[in-house]
């Protein structure tokens, strides 16, 4: 058995949502499609079956941190999003994967699905690596709410049954190991990630309709719009910056870069 380590993290009492869905809602399903990007991308996009909810799967690790084993998208069969050298410290120094969700309206997260694989020394079906699924209003996770836990060495994806109200705007869901995963060739790999729930069906732009990916939208009169990127609520060195809520004209956007955190040397990007 691996020795338990006390996380060096703040209280998980978490932030209270600003609002919860009120009035009519529509169900959504938001998969993170690991087949959309090439190895070794650090950003994997996801889009719901409605036009007002988007997400990116990413990590606070760099491409090669700290050494010869890469992080990000791995071209396995099927593809996975993996991390090496998660770090023996389970506090702020630990590297983890997280999902950045941009929503134009409040929603209730009803289900969170993920498959967890690892080759961590000493882990097995009887002694799995436990992953905490945590929600926060900021990617620094200074405060957060624990949605539940999932485990490695399971034959099929695990689904958390939830009823978590989440406000409109930019929010984050983190996947954090609660037991030690040794450095070196040991890894954590995530796949088959799906968010599902119900979202408020009216917003500043009117009602929300479920998208038909095979249908073509009719031409409409042009509307002017302006997007403001919310640097105030992004953490230092963040490689993703969302749009300040409420978002107008049915648009969701994220400012990102294809550069690494420290590329090519001592001066950081983001």
| 3-state secondary structure (DSSP) of residue 233 | helix
Q: Which residue has the higher pLDDT, 89 or 157?
A: 157
pLDDT at residue 13, rounded to an integer: 44
Domain ranges of the chain: 25-205
Q: Are 95 and 72 in contact (CB under 8 A)?
A: no
Using the predicted structure, report yes or no on whether residue 184 has a pLDDT greater than 80: no
**Virtual CA dihedral for 117, 119, 122, 125, nearest 10 degrees?**
30
Which positions ≥6 away from 72 have C-beta within 8 Å?
39, 40, 41, 42, 59, 63, 81, 82
pLDDT at residue 145, rounded to an integer: 92
Burial of 120 (0-12, 13-18, 19+ CB in 10 A): buried
The alpha carbon of residue 217 and the mean position of all alpha carbons in its chain are separated, in whole angstroms, by: 29
Q: Give the separation between CA 48 and CA 37, rounded to whole angstroms.
A: 17
Which pair of tokens denotes residue 5? Answer: 């380590």
Q: Which residue has the higher pLDDT, 119 or 265?
A: 119
pLDDT at residue 43, rounded to an integer: 85
pTM here is: 0.71
Which pair of tokens denotes residue 51? Answer: 């036009």
Q: Give the separation between CA 170 and CA 54, rounded to whole angstroms.
A: 10
Taking only the tens place, the pLDDT of each residue in 68-88 is: 678 888 988 889 999 886 655
pLDDT at residue 81, rounded to an integer: 94
Taking only the tens place, the pLDDT of each residue in 101-151 is: 988 889 999 999 999 999 888 889 999 999 999 999 888 888 899 999 999
Q: Which residue has the higher pLDDT, 159 or 219?
A: 159
pLDDT at residue 19, rounded to an integer: 56
| Cβ-count burial 170-202 (b if 16+ within 10 Å, e if not) | bbbbbbbbbbbbeeeebbbbbbbbebbbebbbe
pLDDT at residue 201, rounded to an integer: 79
Taking only the tens place, the pLDDT of each residue in 196-227 is: 999 987 543 444 444 444 444 454 555 566 66
Which pair of tokens denotes residue 148? Answer: 């539940």
> Measured between alpha carbons, how far is residue 194 from residues 2, 55, 57, 94, 237 in Å?
29, 11, 11, 24, 27
Using the predicted structure, report yes or no on whether residue 12 has a pLDDT greater than 90: no
Which pair of tokens denotes residue 65? Answer: 């941190």
Which pair of tokens denotes residue 206? Answer: 């009117």
CATH of domain 25-205: 2.60.120.260
- pLDDT, mean of residues 231-237: 61
Q: Are 165 and 145 in contact (CB under 8 A)?
A: no
Which of 33, 27, 31, 32 minimizes the C-alpha distance to 50?
27
């Amino acid at each position: 058995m691996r020795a338990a380590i006390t996380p060096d993290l703040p209280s998980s009492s978490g932030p209270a949502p600003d609002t919860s869905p009120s009035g009519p809602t529509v169900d959504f399903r938001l998969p993170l499609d690991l087949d959309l990007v090439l190895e070794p991308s650090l950003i994997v996009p996801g889009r719901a079956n409605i036009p007002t909810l988007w997400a990116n799967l990413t990590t606070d690790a760099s491409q090669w941190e700290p050494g010869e084993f890469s992080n990000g998208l791995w071209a396995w069969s099927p593809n996975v999003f993996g991390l090496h050298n998660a770090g023996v410290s389970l506090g702020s120094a630990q590297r983890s994967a997280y999902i950045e969700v941009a929503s134009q309206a409040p929603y209730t997260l009803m289900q969170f699905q993920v498959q967890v694989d690892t080759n961590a020394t000493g882990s097995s079906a009887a002694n799995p690596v436990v992953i905490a699924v945590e929600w926060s209003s900021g990617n620094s996770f200074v405060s957060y709410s624990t949605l539940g836990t999932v485990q490695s060495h399971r034959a099929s994806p695990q689904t958390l049954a939830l009823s978590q109200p989440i406000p409109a705007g930019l929010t984050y869901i983190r996947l954090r190991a609660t037991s030690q995963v040794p450095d070196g060739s040991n890894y954590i790999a995530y796949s088959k990630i799906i968010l599902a729930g119900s979202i408020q069906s009216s917003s500043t732009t009117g009602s929300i309709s479920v998208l038909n990916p095979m249908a073509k939208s009719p031409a409409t009169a042009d509307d002017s719009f302006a997007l403001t990127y919310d640097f105030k609520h992004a953490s230092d060195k963040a490689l993703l910056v969302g749009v300040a809520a409420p978002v107008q004209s049915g648009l969701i956007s994220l400012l990102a870069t294809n550069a690494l955190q420290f590329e090519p040397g001592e001066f950081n990007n983001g």
